[in-house]
Structures are given as structure tokens and as C-alpha cells.
Amino acid sequence: MFTGIVSDVGRIVRTEEHNDVRRFSIASSYAADTIDIGASISCAGVCLTVVARVPAEAGGSIFDVEAAPETLAVTSVQDWRLDTRVNLERSLHLGDELGGHLVSGHVDGLAEIVAREDLGETTKFTFAAPHGLSRFIAPKGSVALDGTSLTVNGVDGDRFDCLLIPHTLKVTTWGERLAGMHVNLEVDTIARYVARMVGMPDRPSAGA
């Protein structure tokens, strides 16, 4: 689990194809001796497993992750290239401060940025959510976009918007995001389960 509070921005330094699996090497500020093989790291909101790590010459580390066909099909990982920058977050430990909201790292789909408005102190992004996911997004609720916990400002059909402060633009990849780009969307886990329960009958049907 994660919180949607980005702790580093990594950079893709190598990509390899292994049949239908794609392997990425990501440079980060995380110390190599603090990353366990098999650890989970949120990379642009996608929970990926560390399969190798070495210290980087300039400090920090380079760690490897692998993306299976399903991940490549439904997330922005399919578009990662050399020098692509990705938001990073280490997995949550019991007792850690929960500064954002509970995020699983299981991306539900891609949201399109349909508008960006720089308003001085804040920047407003308007997104188009896949139709099947829009019902899980509510005003003042939480969403994870590219691994960043954001508060929904308003909702209009399949579109919703969020306001970002300058600090968020500075310490994440959001400063680089423009209209027409796609970002990984994970809806709030509570909303998903509430919708599931509401859609189920109060009691099992006869014979179940």
C-alpha cells in the first residue's frame, strides 16, 4: 500500500525486452541498501516489484522493475522511454504518517488531461475519466493520478478537475504535464467497495 505522497522523481535509464515482459532500470535518490529485492515501489502510480538494484555512481541507486503485458496494456508504462521521469513512492510501513489516502498501486485506467490552466498560485487540471470509472469520482473525494494523491475539486459527467499547488508541481512530474497527455488513474478504494456493495443484493438468492 501507498499514500500518494511522492517522495522522489526517478528517471528511466535503460529498457529491455524479455519476450512479452519489459524491464526498466530507474535511477533514484533512494539508497540501494534500503531497497530489498522483491520490494514494491509505486512508479507513476503503478505498483512494481524490484528485481535488481545497485548503487549509482552519482549517489542513490538504480533499481530494475518488470512490467507484464497487462500492465503495459492499461497504464502509461507502455510509453516509458529513456529519460522518462516518473513519480516514485516507497511502500507504506505500519505507523507511517498517512499524508494522502490509501493507494494500492493497482491502476484502473488512463485519464486524459483535457485542459491545464495556470492560475497564479494554483494550477487547474481538467481530466476525462474512462466512462466506467467516472462514477467512482466525487467532489472533495480522493484520486491517485500518476501516483499523486489529489483532491477532486469538481465533477461534470466523465470530467473532473483538481487544483495543484506550486510545491506539487515542483517535486513531482506534474510541472511537465500538458493537455492531451494521459495519466494513470486509480480511484479511491473505499468508493470501489461501496459501489460493489450497493450493487449486490441484501441477501443471497434462494438456493445460493
Active site residue ranges: 2, 40, 47, 49, 68, 106, 151
DSSP state of 205: P
The letter for the amino acid at 190 is I
Between CA 75 and CA 185 the distance in angstroms is 9
Q: Do residues 62 and 56 lie in contact, with contact meaning Cβ atoms separated by under 8 Å?
A: yes
Return d(Cα 72, Cα 62) in angstroms, integer.
Answer: 21
Structural element, H or E, at residue 22:
strand 21-28
What is the separation of C-alpha 134 from the centre of its chain, rounded to a whole number of angstroms?
A: 17
Backbone φ and ψ of 133, nearest 5°: -105, -15
